[in-house]
A = this chain, B = another copy of it.
């Protein structure tokens, strides 16, 4: 058996840090999405790039699929062992390897989570900006091209990864670039691996950009009469070139869920959670201008946070929104959609989508989004076993994606393609473009052993 051979050979490299314990396999067979669990055949807890190189080479020699695993907090089914194989858990690779404060970057191992990095940076005057809801690993965030509440100002992982160390299926270990702020040398391998969802190689180290903590910041929760009014206020704000640090939409049902879960007391109406970064005077200026815009767009109340602690409470509540939502229907699973459209089409897209969900889906939904990016989530709590629920939501998502693509948007702003969105790839990119992606995958992983069955539909199966 190739898998038995591989496990035995790997045991010689990392000893008892490879396991076939069934509860550990179970735990590594799924993320936080609704997808059916598909456990791997073994899990390795690695501690260095060198170990990953050896393990991947053994898997390659035995034709065993490899699945990279960070925190398992994704929502696209990226870690499911669709074709069996061995999962490489990078959570023990969680060191900061070098901090370059003068250059606003640092080199870390891929298993470090972003919150732990920010704790590490606490006394440096710097911070790492990308902040998805879960405390994900930086390697996993790079692999899914993740974003978060700060993206409107500081960018996604695409803008915040300087270079990567990656182990390819054939055992080559590459560093994709230098620490220079810009370079016109080489093909941009950094960006090829950012967002590759573990299908081209295992990311083991990253150099990431850091940002200076703003001299001043100010947060508020702004209430609106309805969703469309809130979105129109966002669009007008962006038009006025106000450099928002955060501008997040949360609908009334999700506000209620957040209040229940995080013991907050926001008014259960559509809200924008916003934050301004800058100097004392620029924050004041921006906030005033923003206030004027909101009043013109049907804002009913404006609650400034009184201090840093209150601001932290608000943002932590926002980050935990998915868990708050899940708590509304114990035992259910979260089916989150994730389209992103050009800002000019956002109000139209959200309004049509809200009507569609209300009319055509029987289970409750919430809408939240990084609306400054044109990205929003409609999420449903489904019981995958309950008759019709999954089908209703899936057909809703098909319509939502068709709507977003017709507006020149994308089927996923930040969650990744994973398993279930593969069916949208040809519609989004066209067959020729998709065939180019297949060619690239084939060039770097000719036997499709690196996280097979994800991202690129109809890739030649593992061999």
Chain A contacts to B: CB under 8 angstroms:
100, 102-105, 144-147, 151, 156, 158-159, 168, 172-192, 194-196, 200, 212, 215, 235, 238-239, 241, 278-279, 281-282, 285, 338, 340-344, 373-375, 405, 408-417, 421, 424-425, 428-430, 432-437, 439-444, 455
- Report the bound CA distance from A338 to B185 in whole Å: 11
Chain B residues in 8 Å Cβ range of A185: 410-412, 416-417, 421, 424-425, 428-429
Chain B residues in 8 Å Cβ range of A434: 186
Question: Could you tell me if A102 and B182 are in contact, using CB atoms closer than 8 angstroms?
Answer: no
Count the copies.
Answer: 2
Most buried by B among A281, A436, A437: A436
Question: Could you tell me if B174 and A417 are in contact, using CB atoms closer than 8 angstroms?
Answer: no
Chain B residues in 8 Å Cβ range of A194: 188
Chain B residues in 8 Å Cβ range of A158: 182, 188, 191
- Provide 9 A-B residue pairs closer than 8 Å at the C-beta atoms, listed in order of the A residue: A156-B182, A159-B159, A181-B374, A182-B410, A185-B425, A186-B195, A189-B433, A191-B191, A442-B443
- Report the bound CA distance from A191 to B192 in whole Å: 7
User: Nearest residue in B to A340 (C-beta to C-beta)?
Assistant: B180
- Report the bound CA distance from A184 to B338 in whole Å: 10
Chain B residues in 8 Å Cβ range of A285: 279, 281-282
Question: Could you tell me if A147 and B417 are in contact, using CB atoms closer than 8 angstroms?
Answer: no
Question: Could you tell me if B235 and A102 are in contact, using CB atoms closer than 8 angstroms?
Answer: yes
Question: Could you tell me if A413 and B373 are in contact, using CB atoms closer than 8 angstroms?
Answer: no
Question: Could you tell me if B172 and A432 are in contact, using CB atoms closer than 8 angstroms?
Answer: yes
Whether A340 contacts B182 in the complex (CB less than 8 A), given A188-B192, A195-B187, A440-B187, comes out as yes
Whether A180 contacts B374 in the complex (CB less than 8 A), given A281-B282, A282-B278, comes out as yes
Chain B residues in 8 Å Cβ range of A241: 212, 215
